[in-house]
Structure 1
């Protein structure tokens, strides 16, 4: 979709140069492989220099700008391809599968990640003079779009604030508002509008998801969850699966397994302790479901992750 303000097509030389410029900026700021938290609130830079096996990752309400390399993200049966022309918009907390498929020391995967300030998003959506975006019937919590010159330029200016820390408190919110505005001009705007609009069914489903994320260790009553979401059980199941490709019970299981995996990987817990900590009462059930989810029993999986250097990727998207 053309960037109407600048009247520049996504594949034009100007847009390609903007991508290269942003890639150079991210590479210079990261200096090497890893996760790099910046001084700008909500902004994290990723530099990955090798492909990875498929791993589980959670995506929170956020924007990821890809400027180099390639990554595949799978939610349910839908695969999202993130290449140097793409942005990944996550409008809701969803657990998905990720795999870096193109990355090397010479040409690493470079990503700028921006965590959304949802009150800011809602404030912008409350305006009556926003442009009408193309309608996208896509309902899942993730969406991939094509970056425009306006979006890339705003991201570049946001990163440039690192050079003038005294400007960050004043200018960062302004530039982040511009980024949200430019996203709202894309066909993927519906994902952001849905999660931020009060009273929408997606908003109610988001309330259920938030409750699950905060209480996943507790026994799950779908009836009580439906009351929390202020909708019927059947409606909750339908909306929940539309957004996450999972039932509430499957989602809870995924949260438990991912958390147990992280605790074993990062904090050195044994499988039994991790299983009880996330709410399992049966160790054999935990081991069985863990193997089905990650492909290996707990101890073998953790050893494989540590030996392959995927400790960070197992936690983050």
Structure 2
């Protein structure tokens, strides 16, 4: 297992301004959706237990407290003044590592639109990522002042509903441009570089996300990516931290968990809907991933 921390956070004054803007709206503990569909605000008053979830293409920012994300064997810590960009859908385990009632964890997540990223990258004169450059599906970088200011303006727009429909898309576009032009830019460009292994794996991940209930044939998925099966498996594991079969399994189990939680399905029906033909196999793999049998896990989540 390895751990990596990134560079120095941005100035305290700009981070504090963004923290106040988030805290003004996220006054209660939890995850807060907003009038900007791509933007969610987050507050925790105490450290949390590890949670399995899927991170999609987006920008995460911590302005108070600390968070830890585990991707495969990698342990990623980030805190105030740091930003995290995820370039493809990834199954991760995450938890808030530092938070208290008097100094809660505060952060935001802004989902990025892949079409806008591709369009902006094509219109900007950006240096092409080197073929030998290392592609990281999750990158942690220090926030710079202009990006923090753009994020603060976006959050501040939530108090101006009359202006929000006109200005929010413009500020979101500015944020995408600043990400492409900043330290995260090389990782985002790997995603859009035509024919690159990272782009092919991103397409395979997107296909899996849409078709996770189907029987997985890795050879066919490798052919879609124009790779041999062994090369495909190697690139897939290097980028996502797990094998294609493990990735599909986590997608299935995450979806089954949501079906049981939100639609009150029992374990047998939920497992069948996500592609499991054996109830015992579903229960066994669910317990291995989430640490407890399906029905007990759902009761615990509802109680919390």
Q: Same fold (TM over 0.5)?
A: yes
State the partner residue of 1:3: none
5+ long unaligned stretches in structure 2 = 1-6
TM-score (norm. length: structure 1): 0.87
Residue in structure 2 matching 1:48, options 24, 44, 51: 44
The alignment's TM-score, normalised by the length of structure 2, stands at 0.91
Between the two proteins, the alignment pairs up a number of residues equal to 298
Out of 3, 23, 30, the position equivalent to 1:27 is 23
- 1:111-122 correspondence runs (5 A): 111-122=107-118
State how far apart, in whole Å, the 1-side matches of 2:277 and 2:58 are: 34
For 1:230 and 1:68, locate their aligned partners in 2 and report how far apart those are by CA, in whole Å: 44
C-alpha offsets along residues 261-310 of structure 1, whole Å, 9 cap, x if unaligned?
A: 12112222111111111111111111111111111122222222223x2x
> Does the aligned pair in 2 maintain the 1:10–1:148 contact within 8 Å?
no
Name the residue aligned to 1:6. Answer: none
User: What CA distance in whole angstroms lies between the structure 2 residues aligned with 1:279 and 1:83?
Assistant: 38
Query: Relative to 1, partners in 2 of residues 1:135 and 1:174: Cα closer, same or farther, differing over 3 Å?
Result: farther
**Is residue 2:212 matched to residue 1:230?**
no
Q: Distance in 1 between matches of 2:105 and 2:17?
A: 15
Alignment counterpart, residue 182 of structure 2, candidates 186, 197, 201: 186
Alignment of 1:7-26 (within 5 A): 11=9, 15-26=11-22
Unaligned runs of 5+ in 1: 1-8, 310-317
Q: Does 207-216 or 36-45 show the bigger shift?
A: 36-45
2:136 corresponds to 1:163? no
Q: In structure 1, what is the Cα distance between the partners aligned to 2:295 and 2:133? A: 42
Q: 1:215 aligns with which of 190, 208, 211?
A: 211
How far did 1:107 drift? 1.6
CA RMSD, Structure 1 to Structure 2 (Å): 2.2
Residues in 2 aligned to 1:194 and 1:53: alpha-carbon distance in whole angstroms:
33
Query: 2:33, 2:285 → 1: CA distance?
Result: 34
Alignment of 1:48-87 (within 5 A): 48-87=44-83
Say if 2:85 and 2:138, in contact at 8 Å, map to a contact too.
yes
